[in-house]
Amino acid sequence: MPTDDSFATIDQAGWEDLVARFDGRMWAVARAFGLSAADAADAVQCAWLRLVESAGAIRDPARIGAWLVTTTRHEAARLSRRARGEVISDLDVPDTAQPDPTAAVVDADFGRQAWRRLDLLGEPCRSLIRLYVLHPEARYAQIAVRLDLPVGSIGPTRARCMSRLRALMEEPE
Amino acid sequence: MREEYLLAALRMGAGADPVPEGVSAAARAVFRLRVPGGVPAGPVDLAAPPGARSSPATDASSGTSPGTSPGTDAAAGEPGAAGAGDESWRPGAGDGRDNPAHVRRFSAAGLVIDLETTITGGRMEVAGQVSPAPGPDARIEVRTPHVGKVRALSETGHFAVTGLPPGWVSVVCHRPGRPPVFTRWLRVRP
């Protein structure tokens, strides 16, 4: 892992350390947008390429992880909009100096804590979020069939359940 | 807390859908795509794309075919390499290509690099022009994460490369005695 002022001279081993630390988080963020595996791979690759081309602009190597996750989210959101038919710029590059500090929650330990909190929610939240999380490409119609809910209610219910879970996660355990 | 971050954490916590090894390998390989000492060329708004292959200043008079110039790599002179002065096709024209051409302009260190990308038969074509023309010793390198192809430039600064895999692409202009200038990476998919 590079230390302060060392990013411009990072070597292959340091780079591979970055990949080992963050590529799982970046992949998870890309897939959280419901992207296909191919599009998620492009979103992750985008973040690494942006890092290579922005190396001279990295001012705080300690925040590279947050920047990588933020950049992946940015690209995944773009590709998600494109998949829905929106016209998007292909050169909308995030500000290197502004990684999102909340990206730190993208972590397996935090995720396990979230699963424990999810059990505190009643149905249909538990089942709906479980399906939504574990099958990100599932369409609302498929989830509706599995949970025996009106398809029109899936989106609002999911939003309400996720809001409740986020609120739970912000409370002390 | 962003919903996508919470979803991602939940997926990681469940051990669901781990990152594929191919994605990790591609990330490791990005390290060799650095351009030490290079100057990044940022995008420039292009209100009226000129069309790299259809500029009035094409090298029809120069007789130079960038794809077959000496000093290029093993891919130089490949069949189907587009000549920079090809006036038979213009951007966005309905000519059987898989999608319309996209033209983008980049600029840095006194150079302007225009790029025009298309997907034809599942392969990516990149044509472009460096302005002002950097001279006979300059080389252009069109790179994807998987392959790089080096071309000499025509007298007017035009170049073209075909047969690339679709995906991410960047162009580096190498000039003797001066820092290389590289474009931001572009995603080119059908």
Q: ipTM score here? A: 0.87
pLDDT of B20 reads 96
A170–B10 C-beta distance less than 8 A: no
Q: Give the minimum alpha-carbon distance from A124 to chain B in angstroms, rounded to a whole number.
A: 17
Instruction: Calculate what percentage of chain B has a pLDDT beyond 70.
Output: 71
Q: Give, in order, the Cα–Cα distances in Å from B141 to each of A59, B76, B144.
A: 29, 11, 10
pLDDT of B100 reads 59
Domain boundaries, chain B: 37-188
Q: Among A51, A102, A108, whose Cβ lies nearest the Cβ of B13?
A: A108
Domain boundaries, chain A: 7-104, 108-169
- Chain A interface disruption, residue of B2, B10, B106, most A CBs within 10 A: B10
pLDDT, one tens digit per residue, over B12-65 is: 999 988 999 999 999 999 999 999 889 999 888 876 545 555 443 333 333 333
A166–B170 C-beta distance less than 8 A: no
Secondary structure (DSSP) of A76-137: HHHHHHHHTT----S--PPPTT---GGGGG-SHHHHHHHHHHHTTS-TTHHHHHHHHHH-TT
Secondary structure (DSSP) of B108-132: ETTEEEEEEEEEETTEEEEEEEEES
* CA–CA gap between residue B44 and residue A46 (Å, rounded): 20
**Residues of chain B contacting A136 with CB distance shorter than 8 Å:** 7, 11, 17
pLDDT, one tens digit per residue, over B131-162 is: 999 988 999 999 999 899 999 999 999 999 99
CATH tag, A108-169: 1.10.10
pLDDT of A16 reads 94
pLDDT of A109 reads 93
Instruction: State the burial class of residue B132 (Cβ atoms within 10 Å of its Cβ: 0-12, 13-18, 19+).
Output: exposed
How many CB contacts within 8 angstroms connect chain A with chain B? 165
pLDDT of A21 reads 93
Q: Among A28, A41, A76, whose Cβ lies nearest the Cβ of B11?
A: A28
Answer yes or no: is pLDDT of B108 > 60.
yes
Nearest chain B residue to A118 by CA distance is: B10
Cβ contact A103:A69 at 8 Å: yes
Mean pLDDT by 10 residues, chain A (173 residues): 58 92 95 91 94 76 86 91 75 62 89 93 91 82 88 91 92 75
pLDDT of B149 reads 95
